[in-house]
Amino acid sequence: MKISNYNNNNIITTKTFNELPPLYKEVVTDFFKVAEKEEGNIIDRVEAAIDVVSDHHNVSTDVLYNYINTETGE
């Protein structure tokens, strides 16, 4: 399954996503776009995407790690 399957037509419709502030919604949306383009196994792709997107938006990597943890119920 591709990461892009998680967000149909680039629209994420989960409760967790909808509760995020606008900047964080943009960060998460960009994360999925970057993760889809990265090379390697899923762990490497996710970690690389988190670093790239966090740097680009000048936010802590915790924003994405917390989002992923909340979304996956961990």
- The total of structural domains in the chain comes to 1
For 36-51, write each residue's pLDDT tens digit: 888 889 899 999 999 9
Q: What is the pLDDT of residue 56?
A: 96
What pTM value is reported for the model? 0.82
Q: What does the alpha-carbon distance between residue 56 and residue 41 come to, in Å, rounded to a whole number?
A: 22
Would you say the C-alpha torsion 21, 23, 10, 34 has a positive or negative sign? negative
Q: Are 64 and 27 in contact (CB under 8 A)?
A: yes
For 3-30, write each residue's pLDDT tens digit: 555 555 556 778 899 999 999 999 999 9
Residue 73 has pLDDT above 50, yes or no: yes
Give residue 51's domain range. Answer: 3-72
Residue 68: pLDDT band by 50, 70, 90 thresholds? very high
Could you tell me how far CA 51 lies from the centroid of its own chain? 11
- Give which of 8, 29, 18 is closest to 70, Cα–Cα: 18
State both tokens at 28.
């998460």
